[in-house]
Structure 1
Amino acid sequence: MKNLTVPAVFSALETDFPILEVSQLAEQESWRKEINRPLYHIHKWWATRLGSVFRAITLAALSPRGKGMWDDFYKTHNLTGKVVLDPFMGSGTTLGEGLKLGAKVVGCDINPVSTFLVRQALTPVSEVALRRAFEALEAEIAPEIRRYYQTRDPETGALIPVLYAFWVKVLDTPCGEEVPLFSRYVFAQDAYPKKKPRAQIVCPACWSIFQDRYDAIETICGDCGHNFNPQKGPAAGQNLTTSGGRTYKIKSLLPVSAPPRHRLYALMALRPDGSKIYVAAKEEDHSLFSEAAERLRTEDILLPTFPVRAGHNTDQARGYNYHAWRDFFNDRQLLCLGLLLKAIMRLEDRAIREQLLCLFSSTLEFNNLFCSFKGEGTGAVRHMFSNHILKPERTPLENSIWGTNRSSGTFMSLFESRLLRAKRYLNEPFELRLESDLLGAKAGTSKVVASAPISPRLVESWREIEAVKGSAALILNGNSAALPIPDRSIDAVITDPPYFDFVHYSELSDFFFAWLAPALKGSYPWFEREDSSAEGEVQDKDPQMFSRHLGYVFAESRRVLKDDGVLAFSFHHSRPEGWAAIYCALAQADMTVVAAHPVHAELRAASPKSAAKDPISLDAILVCRKRATVEPISYSLETIQARTSALSKRLEEGGLLLSRADYFVIAASQALIATGYECLSFDEIEQRLLEIMNAISSPEASSLAAAE
């Protein structure tokens, strides 16, 4: 092994990055990301990184050694003349944080949904104008939508608004029995049932609704006298059992070419005094739905026509015969969403129209047949992307599209909680400040404004961004392996690359694309496609193919990066092949890792992370330079273990809980520093990383950690 050589340092990001302070702040931000950084949650995007982390990265990357560290985090900065590029801009986190620091920003994404949502997030629009347009929509179309979401109060007979409708998939057995896919007959309970044990139960005999304890194992229906165990429904795992005791594979009973039928069985409604009630679905409720379905056949409205393509994240839905995106909605949802979209498209002001179109698209996440009920005492709607696959929901929850002031996930509620909150953040971009060293949901925080208002000029070319003297953003759609940017013109490239094997973004974003494309293809050429994917997309199940495409983007980043600039990106993976892909991509681009900083990245309890056996909560911030600008660094295995131990100890003493997978993230990132100048094949670097993974979990590694 070569001796350690300290290279010339151009930026603060290559030195002792404040991993503990940033991680403590990031942990707090991660509890309510959509509130603490609303700008990046105006619309659904996957793996949205934490704004506090990227503020710290960007500040350090654009600051000389000795500056841009924790003492400068809450200061107002004006990095005039600096330009930051994000070639995988996603939800726009890098762009927003760069603008807050006074830099110009360039963002590019191959996905049209990303490009559209970032443009809308960074466009300053008057709240007064937005409210005026919203109120016009409310007067025009809300009454039509709300008419389809009402029911009779069983006590007064008056019509009252429906908040949520409860459905269940039903299948027919060969013996002619219709079987609902309930796993249990308790369909609604409090989010904290031990404190509030009363729950809603549907009777399997007469379909009436009544209350009992959430954990009752025997109950009697007050309407028909049926005695049953509400914890045991017909569906269990991949099987269902009939009332006669026959067991079938659920997939064997699916219709030949269509998704399963659904049965409406209960409603949650809102009384005038603000109290919520559960009622069984009656004939009038079924007739109202049928009326909406009949009207859908005659309405001239924009509806999705695209098929669901086969893919890693879509195959489970296709296995249930969801072959078209319109299949993800029932007829009432299609009608009301179509009416709302039609009304939005009639708005004359393009900027306002596109803001509300972005809101409409955001609403889709909470208004489809893949949503479910989270429970009382929390946001009621579990959105369709709570899993990173499109998992068919056996007991879907139908939201009420426009909603009321007591709704969750509706056009009305998201107007306030997402759109307006994001616009206000542009005017007053605040940071969280921890008031103590405690971590967790109850750690005290305050808000500090440490940036000028975000008000960039959105430009369409590099020539324009050069000409602007103040704040400017160039937001591109296309392959970041071929950027319309001159050589050596970017001060820092800061990004978060996609995963190669877990989340295929375009397969999921097709859900939104199917609605947006018909509305926007006349305005943006990147919506004139068959789906949201494109040639050159960095997404592949094969890690070596993924690495090659990522290498093309890194090589292009190197071309546009100034010689004294850094490429910094966040990454984590639980297996050596993921890190081997990163190593080979950087080698292909003639870049090398010069520093690696572990920081908190994600709320450990977040789904689906909470279901993982050994969840990762850390990202490694990999800081890279052009190989020709630095001297090689080489660490022994013992040095990698020692550095891993020291870094993990620093985080754990600050209150972070680390898993074995987190230790590997730290060790693998340090190994990339040590191997940056070696010419290793994919298999060779994967084998070396496997040895490191085994070493950090060995007794010898534990002894070394104790010694440290």
Structure 2
Amino acid sequence: MTLLEQGFPFDAVSRLVAADRRSRDAAYQVHRWWARRPPALVRAALIAARIPADTTVAAFRAAYGSTAPLLTGTTVLDPFAGGGTTLVEAARLGAIPVGRDIDPLAVLLVGHQLEPARAEAVQASGERLLAHLRVSLGDQWESTDADWAPLHYFTIPVVMCSECDHAGPLYRSLVIGRSTGAAGGVVRDAEVSAFCPDCYTTHSLKATAKTLTCCGHRRPLHAATYIKGRYRCPGCKAPSDHERLQTGAAPRVLVGVEETSVNRGTRRRIRPATDEDLHHEHRAAAWLAARAGRPLPLDRPIVTAPGDNRPVSHGITTIGMLHTARQAAYLAAAHDWIDDAGLDDGTERALRITVSSTVSSNNRLCGYATDYGRLAPLFSIRAFALPALTVELNPLNPSGGRGTLAAALLRTAKAADGTVRRHVLDSKNRPIAVSLGFPARNHPGAVATADSTSATRPDAPQADICLTDPPYYDFIPYDALSQVYRAWLPEQDLDAAPLLPAGDDPVADFGSRLGAALSTAAGSLKRDGLVAFTYKGGGDAWDAVGVALDEAKLRVTALWPVLADPHMGHHSHPGNCEYDLLIVARAVEQATPAEPTTSTVEWKHRLGDVSPADEKNFDHAMRIAGPRWGSPLAR
């Protein structure tokens, strides 16, 4: 029996997860993924799965804080690779990582994380790419002043009232940006920049200004036509939401341009838009029309998620509608260059990921933090409300930072750095910050695009551990999120249908499909191997897990609550869970029926306060695990 099955210090591991909340790890910063399990949790689980149950707490702490390849000779399987945390942490422990995922974006990303290109090669090729784009597309972001370089273009939609057909601008405030002097804020020439909703001209104001006077009107700076999720028509006063207005498809008006100083460091200004600014978008459209190359995904329809039809319900129905002409031209030109550059496989993959990562800051759903001067990148096409003040980034700006191609190249190059800032436990089981230096990772071909029920390659070693994080029954389907990025990659389509509830009996359907995946994983293990996975959800979700365990002929040998989403904190909604349940299981022939060796009462005592949602999550997990409990056979 292993420590993961008896005596796993879930409370101490949860403290590590909480402490690592703001830790930066270059391997996971290259590209957005939506639900990576905490590296601390994964590392602890892998170590605990390979050491005896009677290992002392002190010995576990020492193993966790060691950078030695403790899992050398061990093979770790993840059939739902996703963002790659399990496989990367396994590789850092010296194990052989084997994984698969139906999403080619996930496979591309994990491949780079396991076999990162040399930083020097990424930087050198990235500089060539930047130089090419500045020559071929640079005139699309030209400034009227050689001392300033455009960074952000601010637009607002002009919508038509569904009641009276009055056309007017939709905005939450007249303020575009403020220089507050706050830590982390940018320094601008004007203390306040605001626009007139009649002529759309930007004005520079003092910090003490409360109103804007233009076009014969004096308006308070907090004036708005979009209030509490509704547009109030200036003509008939009728309220309308984005669905009725089709705001995403509405024409937009350029109200200002933020520029960075070429000679004065980080200083910025927001200036009025000019006729030349308006011509740049036409240049981009002409470039796209004249381009010869592989087909563009502009007409590719957006697939919505069950229960949430955004952004299609807002009027954005295709990939092309997510981007301005300049943004589409930039993405197309970058991938065209990568196609023809003759790069080695690792460097090509690194640049593909780099350009793909900038999709999150080069789309029409980016907002703006007015007091800090930062673009708010897209998290997903369905997570937040459509921004009223949309920001278009100049991805070629040399000094703007967040979202630019230069910044993305730096992140990708750092992925090869094996030094990370993490936390370990001291002698009193308290987290302390340390720098850990992991050996270089080099595991080519360890992850493949394939369904979770596909058998591993015939030449792949049998696994010792399957540790995974399958899709949850009642959470966001990641394929609906990744489509925005996949559309611009050579491999755009999923390898198989995603694991989602379906049919007349969704619990049975989901459980059966998850069970098939777990059965395949268990069949890929050595005789004494174990299966472990993280999960959370409501009653139906856990009923589906019960179906899956029965389908895969697995017995539960351990169940532990582990902090997985500490970022929620004070912003947690009553219905959200911060804890996952880590289920450990073995094949029925490797375990005998037994009573559970843990309880929800013990969990709550050791963890302290947990939310009502987490209590329900715990209860559901124990309800389905109890009847399926087993004790591992002695070896």
**What interval of TM-score do these two structures reach, taking the shorter chain for normalisation?**
0.7 to 0.9
CA distance in 1, matches of 2:545, 2:306: 21
Read off the aligned partner of 2:27 and give its amino acid letter: L
Residue 124 (str. 1) matches residue 85 (str. 2): no
Aligned to 2:600: 644
CA distance in 2, matches of 1:664, 1:213: 53
Residue 453 (str. 1) matches residue 416 (str. 2): no
Read off the aligned partner of 1:589 and give its amino acid letter: A
CA distance in 2, matches of 1:273, 1:488: 58
Equivalent pair of 1:601/1:618 in contact (CA under 8 Å): yes
Shift of 1:310: 4.2
Which of 501, 504, 509 lines up with 1:540 in the alignment? 501
Q: What SS does structure 2 have at the residue aligned with 1:265? A: strand
CA offsets 1:218-277 (integer angstroms, 9 cap, x no match): 933254462223334112345322323431424576469x82211111221112202111
Q: What SS does structure 2 have at the residue aligned with 1:24? A: helix
Residue 554 (str. 1) matches residue 518 (str. 2): yes
Greater CA drift, 131-140 or 238-247: 238-247
Read off the aligned partner of 1:622 and give its amino acid letter: I
CA distance in 1, matches of 2:184, 2:339: 47
Read off the aligned partner of 1:177 and give its amino acid letter: H
Shift of 1:368: 0.3
Q: What SS does structure 1 have at the residue aligned with 2:35? A: coil
CA distance in 1, matches of 2:557, 2:222: 56
Aligned to 1:499: 472
Q: From the superposition, tell whether residues 594 and 435 of structure 1 become closer, same or farther in structure 2 (CA, over 3 Å).
A: closer
Shift of 1:672: 3.7
Which of 582, 588, 605 lines up with 2:545 in the alignment? 582
Residue 478 (str. 1) matches residue 478 (str. 2): no
Spell out the pairing of 1:513-528 with structure 2 (5 A cutoff). 513-517=486-490, 527=491
Equivalent pair of 1:112/1:532 in contact (CA under 8 Å): yes
Read off the aligned partner of 1:409 and give its amino acid letter: G
Greater CA drift, 73-82 or 170-179: 170-179
Which of 390, 397, 401 lines up with 1:403 in the alignment? 397
CA distance in 2, matches of 1:363, 1:475: 24
State the TM-score, normalizing by the size of structure 2: 0.88
Q: From the superposition, tell whether residues 281 and 539 of structure 1 become closer, same or farther in structure 2 (CA, over 3 Å).
A: same
Identity %: 23
CA distance in 1, matches of 2:499, 2:181: 42
Residue 365 (str. 1) matches residue 360 (str. 2): yes
Aligned to 1:234: 225
Q: What SS does structure 2 have at the residue aligned with 1:315? A: coil
CA offsets 1:340-386 (integer angstroms, 9 cap, x no match): 222222221232122101111111111100111134447x2222225
Which of 253, 256, 264 lines up with 2:254 in the alignment? 264
Aligned to 2:42: 54
Read off the aligned partner of 1:292 and give its amino acid letter: A
Spell out the pairing of 1:60-139 with structure 2 (5 A cutoff). 60-67=48-55, 69-75=60-66, 76-139=68-131
Q: From the superposition, tell whether residues 306 and 620 of structure 1 become closer, same or farther in structure 2 (CA, over 3 Å).
A: same
Which of 549, 556, 579 lines up with 1:593 in the alignment? 556
Q: What SS does structure 2 have at the residue aligned with 1:164? A: strand
CA distance in 2, matches of 1:386, 1:213: 36
Q: What SS does structure 2 have at the residue aligned with 1:117? A: helix
Equivalent pair of 2:555/2:629 in contact (CA under 8 Å): yes
Read off the aligned partner of 2:283 and give its amino acid letter: E
Aligned to 1:466: none
Greater CA drift, 93-102 or 63-72: 63-72
Aligned to 1:25: 16
Which of 196, 215, 237 lines up with 1:203 in the alignment? 196
Residue 675 (str. 1) matches residue 627 (str. 2): yes
Aligned to 2:168: 179
Aligned to 1:356: 351
Read off the aligned partner of 1:484 and give its amino acid letter: T
Q: From the superposition, tell whether residues 632 and 166 of structure 1 become closer, same or farther in structure 2 (CA, over 3 Å).
A: same
Shift of 1:446: 2.3
Q: From the superposition, tell whether residues 436 and 306 of structure 1 become closer, same or farther in structure 2 (CA, over 3 Å).
A: farther
Q: From the superposition, tell whether residues 195 and 99 of structure 1 become closer, same or farther in structure 2 (CA, over 3 Å).
A: closer
Greater CA drift, 136-145 or 89-98: 136-145
Q: From the superposition, tell whether residues 666 and 175 of structure 1 become closer, same or farther in structure 2 (CA, over 3 Å).
A: closer
CA distance in 1, matches of 2:61, 2:71: 17
Residue 603 (str. 1) matches residue 527 (str. 2): no
Q: From the superposition, tell whether residues 488 and 556 of structure 1 become closer, same or farther in structure 2 (CA, over 3 Å).
A: farther
Q: What SS does structure 2 have at the residue aligned with 1:323? A: coil
Read off the aligned partner of 1:206 and give its amino acid letter: C
Shift of 1:57: 0.6
Equivalent pair of 2:243/2:315 in contact (CA under 8 Å): no
Equivalent pair of 1:372/1:383 in contact (CA under 8 Å): yes
Q: Which runs of 5+ in 1 are unaligned?
A: 1-8, 460-473, 518-526, 679-708
Read off the aligned partner of 1:358 and give its amino acid letter: I
Read off the aligned partner of 2:260 and give its amino acid letter: L
Equivalent pair of 1:598/1:618 in contact (CA under 8 Å): yes
Q: From the superposition, tell whether residues 498 and 562 of structure 1 become closer, same or farther in structure 2 (CA, over 3 Å).
A: same
Aligned to 1:658: 610
CA distance in 1, matches of 2:308, 2:575: 25
Shift of 1:143: 4.2
Shift of 1:94: 0.9
Which of 28, 31, 36 lines up with 1:40 in the alignment? 28
Q: What SS does structure 2 have at the residue aligned with 1:66? A: coil
Aligned to 1:325: 319
Q: From the superposition, tell whether residues 409 and 543 of structure 1 become closer, same or farther in structure 2 (CA, over 3 Å).
A: farther
Aligned to 2:277: 285
Q: From the superposition, tell whether residues 72 and 410 of structure 1 become closer, same or farther in structure 2 (CA, over 3 Å).
A: same
Greater CA drift, 292-301 or 405-414: 292-301
CA distance in 2, matches of 1:89, 1:429: 21
Equivalent pair of 1:402/1:412 in contact (CA under 8 Å): yes
Q: From the superposition, tell whether residues 375 and 231 of structure 1 become closer, same or farther in structure 2 (CA, over 3 Å).
A: closer
CA distance in 2, matches of 1:571, 1:595: 13
CA distance in 2, matches of 1:661, 1:496: 20
Greater CA drift, 385-394 or 174-183: 385-394
Aligned to 2:482: 509
Read off the aligned partner of 1:534 and give its amino acid letter: A
Shift of 1:495: 0.4
State the TM-score, normalizing by the size of structure 1: 0.79
Equivalent pair of 2:118/2:413 in contact (CA under 8 Å): no
CA offsets 1:16-45 (integer angstroms, 9 cap, x no match): 11223222221122224xx2x221332222
Shift of 1:300: 2.5
Equivalent pair of 2:119/2:414 in contact (CA under 8 Å): no
Q: What SS does structure 1 have at the residue aligned with 2:200? A: coil
CA distance in 1, matches of 2:308, 2:487: 14
Read off the aligned partner of 2:571 and give its amino acid letter: S
Q: What SS does structure 2 have at the residue aligned with 1:244? A: coil
